[in-house]
A and B are shown apart, each in its own frame.
Chain A
């Protein structure tokens, strides 16, 4: 008598992460996320322009911080999301991890571009220069180039699942840049101020910290909203590609 091994039931996370199931449950989250993002931006911008004082040193230019710091934070957080997705792609070969990695790359590039651009505009009145080749700025520029490279790399693969393995390896190798960016202000002499958020809390008064934290939340919500919509779009794109490929194969079978 032969005994068949009991089939292992997928756990709740695997069930939720199935691309088809993801399309179903994420559909209910898109609109609430959009509303939460708009409201948080509204409150954050109101605080940034109408309910926060000028800094005693930087004057009114402190208001640039309310968009520069959230984008600098996102430039690193988005890469962390990509690195975690890359592990999911390499270890579990999960298609949703590939989709998450691909959808995050252009978003990370855009947030890093904003961080660099606003940093340059903030640097001119406060330091007297738009750019300085110091550790923080140079490593952030490298991060931007890495994002652009990864976006370009995705477009070179016809077979996205094979491409995902290669890109996941590149993504994980590039993750070494994240602690370099984080600790660059401690390791090297720099014009850039040290981290404003540390284990000892925020190194600023509440009147400036409040708009900053609200704007950080707003930009983080914006990322999660766009990431979710971009992931849904990528799943649909793969579905349409598979249907077209199957249709062409069926037509060739009929003609042969």
Chain B
């Protein structure tokens, strides 16, 4: 059954309050439906209390909401057991948790394999380990914007203890075959970590099928509140890991000399938790389930296909990402003209090469803002990838369940107008 975005929009207060807003920055964060807002308000108004501690009624209710939300998360990604689901603040914190735990167990000379299309959040936590003598490798991105699987395989060395890769690129929209990558990792006894920030909101993700060791995502990119994220981990790995932050529910027993840790997942949940976040996330998952993740993906495919068709009409429009719809999520990074990186500008000037006309993505985004269209511009927290593409920055449109074909037409018209305006 196909989604009807015109109907979906009615569930979102922001579109009722801003009927003309064309919101196309969903890879950054998504809007929230009434049901999510209501679930949070319900907790504040009727059950607000701390979880796990109180023996009184509302605390028990709140604990039950918090833990049933975990069960919902577990079912949503097919984890099989809620104790494999650790609440974090977001994808970034989930990966930092891993760097601090499994990363710290690595020894000098061990290696970590990433890819050239990673977000800074899946680079920097691993860079922290360089001071301990850990080496970081990057698997290449090919000309067609897909991952070079052969290069990935060749960089899985005997020293590669962890590989961490994105499921969907936040810049290119490339969908990586994370099942295949995981299996390559396991043949090499390498721990496989999946950054699923851009996939879980948009497609059916089943950790059982992928068989990855860890998978991280954020609530706010999938209709949920900000400040709640998830780290899925396999039970044996989570059990043997050291804790991350200390204090609160993560403790079993403390005396003046020692302490022991709680069972998983609570071992990783120190301090008072973001209970409203977990409740809101669970409600967001209910909303997405009611639409059906297959339908969500079909809708986004229809949108990206439409963008591809319209993109051909505009000269000078350069877009980045695979054209094969099977390998492409609804992320559309583009430039009007060739927005080359500063180092290329410098080289061209030295050699007296004339630089062709282009419109900087900030100017594109500012132009679109005047038409009430929200798109992102900049390096999208992927500076190494920008360097690889040879661009200074790009503009990016990332539609979601509430975006319509006619909104995308207005967006494309505005690229065309922007291009004409600047030629003047």
Whether A associates with B in a native complex is: no
